Amino acid sequence: MTIREFQAVIRRMYHDKDAARGVEGTFMWLTEEIGELATALRSGTHEEQALEFADVFAWLATIANVVEVDLEAAIARKYGGGCPGCGQLSCTCPDAEKP
């Protein structure tokens, strides 16, 4: 499944609820899922970690749907040519700098 296909599946399943909840409420759900991922990374099994990664990605896709952002296109635009900082496929940015 591509990122675009995944985003479309999430849209079909949840868009009406998500749009009614709005960006702020949906973002709160994303932050809760990030907390659950943090817990799984500290003390969860590999399977629990995988499921939490999926939940975080689903909520990210949900917010993108609410604000009409095509995640696949945004990712390709920002990262498709390499690191946004140095432009290399293998980042050469100093460790102290983002990314």
The predicted structure's pLDDT at residue 54: 98
- Do the domain assignments include residue 12? yes
- Do the domain assignments include residue 88? no
Answering whether pTM is above 0.95, one says no
Closest to 14 in 3D by CA, of 24, 3, 2, 26: 26
Looking at the 3D structure of the chain, how many domains does it have? 1
Domain interval for residue 47: 3-68
Q: What is the pLDDT of residues 66-84, one digit of tens each?
A: 999 999 999 999 999 999 9
CATH of the domain at 24: 1.10.287.1080
- Do the domain assignments include residue 20? yes
Say whether the peptide bond before residue 99 is cis (omega within 30 degrees of 0): yes
